[in-house]
């Protein structure tokens, strides 16, 4: 048997609209792990915001992986070891804060098991908190507080403003940061040359698997790199059109119809 690694985005891919793993999908993923295949969850979420799903799928027992912060950190669930990590240059934090203030954007990062908010609390910061099940801590002086290494920052804004500001940010930081939208209202601020595909490639070196054995599934803009990288790149039926265009295969079923079970049966079993 050729060992496969199934890499799954979480929101809109692994989980339903209610952010839950369906019983059928859970059974299918436990089944392939029992047969010796690996499962990795790959998300823009912070690591604590992924732990609920890692526990449900028993990734610790079967030696699965978590790729969090859109690839800025990968951990081995069995050992807790950080397999790969990249952080933002400390010197950009003040200028990011200044940009967010000038353009009236939300700005946050992550510390331990909570979100650090350095600007206004808008509805989108609340969405990030609710999605991940992590509380928000507002700090008076964001720049002074963030004296630790961070894997990513997130700016929030209404979609129209986010579309405008992401272009300004990309131009301003083109030589130092990777910046893109993961949702219409989320602007991801990442270390340069970090995305799901790049980090996945680094991780595969440590486990002795090649990209031909990798199946990557997603639905959002930030999944495109890993879908293009994989031996088999899969877009969910509910994916954005650009994601479908990048994929080798588009599921017939959506995330609410156990589309991942379709992938398991077709490409793993």
The CATH number covering residue 127 comes to 3.30.1240.10
Each residue's pLDDT tens digit, 158-182? 999 999 999 999 999 999 999 988 7
User: Both 203 and 78 in a single domain?
Assistant: yes
The pTM score is: 0.87
Long-range contacts of 103-106 (CB under 8 A, 24+ apart): 103/157, 103/161, 103/165, 103/168, 104/157, 105/155, 105/156, 105/157, 105/161, 105/165, 105/187, 106/154, 106/155, 106/156, 106/157
User: Both 186 and 101 in a single domain?
Assistant: yes
Lateral strand order in the sheet of 232-235? 82-85, 73-76, 65-68, 38-42, 5-8, 214-218, 232-235, 249-250
The stretch 81-100 carries a mean pLDDT of: 94
Residues 6+ apart with CB under 8 A from 244: 235, 250
User: Both 175 and 107 in a single domain?
Assistant: yes
Each residue's pLDDT tens digit, 99-154? 999 999 999 999 988 999 987 788 899 999 998 999 999 998 999 999 999 999 99
Q: What one-character DSSP code corresponds to residue 222? A: G
Last residue of a domain, one of 146, 166, 191: 191
Looking at residue 1, its pLDDT comes to 59
Q: What whole-number distance in Å separates Cα of residue 40 and Cα of residue 43? A: 10
Each residue's pLDDT tens digit, 198-219? 999 988 987 778 899 999 999 9
Residue ranges making up the domain that contains 106: 90-191
User: Both 103 and 178 in a single domain?
Assistant: yes
């Amino acid at each position: 048997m050729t060992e496969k690694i199934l890499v799954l985005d979480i929101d809109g891919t692994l989980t339903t609209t209610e952010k839950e793993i369906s019983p059928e999908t859970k059974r299918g993923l436990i089944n392939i792990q029992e047969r010796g295949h690996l499962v990795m969850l790959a998300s823009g979420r912070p690591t604590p915001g992924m732990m609920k799903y890692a526990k449900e799928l028993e990734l610790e027992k079967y030696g699965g992986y978590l790729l969090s912060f859109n690839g800025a950190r990968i951990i081995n669930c069995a050992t807790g070891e950080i397999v790969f990590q990249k952080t933002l240059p400390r010197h950009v934090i003040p200028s990011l804060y200044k940009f967010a203030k000038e353009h009236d954007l939300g700005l946050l990062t992550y510390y331990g098991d909570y979100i650090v908010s350095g600007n206004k609390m808008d509805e989108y910061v609340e969405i990030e908190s609710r999605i991940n099940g992590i509380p928000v801590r507002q700090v008076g002086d964001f720049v002074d507080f963030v004296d630790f290494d961070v894997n990513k920052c997130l700016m929030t804004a209404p979609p129209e403003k986010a579309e405008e500001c992401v272009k300004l940010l990309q131009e301003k930081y083109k030589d130092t940061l990777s910046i893109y939208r993961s949702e219409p209202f989320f602007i991801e601020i990442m270390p340069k040359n970090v995305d799901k595909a790049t980090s996945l490639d680094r991780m595969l070196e440590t486990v002795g698997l090649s990209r031909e054995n990798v199946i990557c599934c997603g639905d959002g803009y930030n999944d495109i790199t890993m879908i293009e990288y994989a031996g088999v790149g899969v877009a969910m039926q509910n994916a954005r059109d650009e994601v479908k265009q990048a994929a080798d295969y588009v599921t017939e079923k959506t995330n609410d119809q156990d589309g991942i079970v379709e992938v398991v049966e077709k490409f793993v079993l």
